[in-house]
């Protein structure tokens, strides 16, 4: 057991969870980034962006960090700011998980809200964050979508995967800023491992083209009117897939009831895409999904039946379909009869 003196020393070395295995030997592994402090992958990126800013002289002792965030980046920055003595202001909207906002405030962050409903306001958030940083002496706008240190923060994910597995054949992840998926893919390629890279975004996101529209998956995608950031590296992308809110959330809920594993909604989208494609990958493939955060922050949203019903997001049939896919590729034998894993009727 190692004794540490700062929270950021606990970042990394997150576990791999085998979710499914096909008869041909292809296995689906989840890189469970919720085992990082703050329960999300983005603390890796937050730490890398602040270290880079310090090294470049953009952030000095006692300085002020400003960022537009849907929650998980803000949580990571709040930890780093608390450790290193910086003031941190998070520009947020009401689409973010309430628990993420409360946690940021608990760690001393100042929250500045944009918008007055529960819709995404990505462009307005970023515009305000940039303007605030320009007007505040000593402030640094981390600008996660266009910060070169963002993907660098995920290089250790690739190193951890190679140390554990030797190689990765297929890499799947949600694309918001793009840092987690493309930073990991870039680092893997630098070590001679070139996986088939599949990016997943919500239906309504425009990073992979198509018609834009509203969506409920948090911390992922590029909503209409927002600009795709430089961390999205199309040269590393083999496929871009879209998964709607209903199957994404159904997957998260199905994993919870079947395995007791809580993952976030955007991670549910990535896992759904992987399960749908699993039988089509070459026999013996190692498929890794980056699960960027856990489900504990969404207990009052995607795991709340009333919230789901009010937004017409609940679909019992889709949840059963996900359970069926898990049954097709079993790696886990329940200790109770199958009926104990049946989904309760909602509504």
| Active site residue ranges | 42
- b/e code 82-91 from CB counts within 10 Å (16+ = b): ebbebbbbbb
φ/ψ region of 277 (left if φ > 0, alpha if ψ in -120 to 50, else beta) reads alpha
Which tokens sit at 227?
């600009």
Residue given tokens 């699960």 in the structure block: 291
Q: From CA 258, how far away is CA 255, in angstroms rounded? A: 5
Q: From CA 202, how far away is CA 217, in angstroms rounded? A: 7
Q: From CA 152, how far away is CA 175, in angstroms rounded? A: 16
Strand order in the sheet with 87-93: 110-114, 87-93, 64-68, 139-141
Which tokens sit at 344?
């309760």
Alpha helices in 85-178 (DSSP H): 98-106, 122-135, 149-152, 155-165
- Classify the C-alpha dihedral 208-211-213-217 as positive or negative: negative
CA distances from 321 to 74, 109, 276, 281, 326 (A): 35, 41, 10, 20, 9
Q: What are phi and psi of 311, to 5 degrees?
A: -105, 10
Q: What are phi and psi of 205, to 5 degrees?
A: -80, 155
* Beta pairing class for 87-93 and 64-68: parallel
CA distances from 198 to 9, 201, 282, 344 (A): 30, 10, 15, 33
């Amino acid at each position: 057991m190692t004794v540490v003196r700062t929270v950021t020393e606990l970042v990394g070395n997150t576990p791999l969870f085998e979710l499914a295995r096909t008869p041909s030997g292809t296995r689906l592994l989840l890189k469970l980034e919720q085992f990082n402090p703050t329960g999300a992958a983005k603390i890796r990126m937050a730490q890398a962006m602040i270290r880079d800013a310090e090294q470049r002289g953009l952030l000095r002792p006692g300085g002020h960090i400003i960022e537009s965030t849907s929650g998980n980046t803000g949580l990571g920055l709040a930890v780093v700011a608390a450790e290193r003595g910086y003031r941190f202001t998070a520009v947020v909207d009401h689409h973010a998980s309430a628990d993420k906002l409360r946690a940021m405030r608990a760690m001393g962050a100042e929250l500045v809200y944009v918008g007055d409903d529960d819709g995404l306001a990505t462009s307005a958030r970023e515009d305000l964050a940039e303007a605030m940083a320009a007007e505040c002496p000593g402030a640094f706008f981390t600008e996660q979508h266009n910060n070169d240190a963002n993907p660098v923060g995920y290089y250790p994910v690739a190193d951890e995967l190679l140390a554990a597995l030797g190689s990765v054949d297929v890499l799947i992840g949600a694309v918001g800023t793009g840092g987690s998926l493309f930073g990991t893919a870039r680092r893997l390629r630098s070590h001679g491992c070139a996986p088939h890279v599949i990016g997943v975004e919500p239906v309504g996101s425009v990073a992979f083209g198509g018609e834009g529209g509203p969506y409920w998956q948090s911390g992922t995608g590029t909503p209409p009117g927002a600009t795709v950031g430089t961390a999205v590296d199309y040269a590393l992308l083999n496929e871009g897939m879209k998964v709607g809110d209903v199957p994404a959330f159904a997957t998260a809920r199905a994993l919870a009831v079947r395995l007791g594993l809580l993952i976030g909604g955007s991670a549910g989208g990535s896992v759904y895409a992987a399960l749908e494609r699993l039988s089509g990958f070459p026999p013996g493939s190692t498929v890794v999904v980056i699960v960027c955060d856990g489900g504990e922050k969404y207990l009052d949203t995607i795991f709340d039946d009333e919230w789901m019903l009010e937004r017409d997001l609940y679909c019992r049939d889709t949840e059963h379909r996900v359970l069926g896919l898990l049954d097709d590729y079993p790696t886990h034998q329940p200790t109770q009869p199958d009926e104990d894993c049946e989904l309760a009727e909602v509504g």
